[in-house]
Structure 1
């Protein structure tokens, strides 16, 4: 398993609106990972959490709510 798959997923989400919408519809980390697996990105919940912790508040906001300016009040989980 490529440990950078979670990071690659976040890069792909910036380009792929359909993938982004599918991931946003996931209601928990396991569902998120299942959607990612179907798109060819295989990683664990721990790897997902590690990559999320590396993102700045602005980067996370861009993935979750693109088109809206940086939101400094959003704190990554």
Structure 2
């Protein structure tokens, strides 16, 4: 079986509006299950690929600050 996980995730959320996407993200974070990590990774990939250099820096700053608070 040749399963493309990225494509499966994208097909699963295709057509979702912002509210549905937020619910998906909130659910993944609340459950804290490792099986949700690939989906969040695909969301991050989309975010990164569709952001400009300034937004990249904001994302990196947020990540850096979040890691310092751990």
* TM-score exceeds 0.5: no
- The TM-score with structure 1 as length reference comes to 0.33
Point out the structure with the larger helix share: 2
Q: What TM-score comes out, normalization by structure 2 length?
A: 0.35
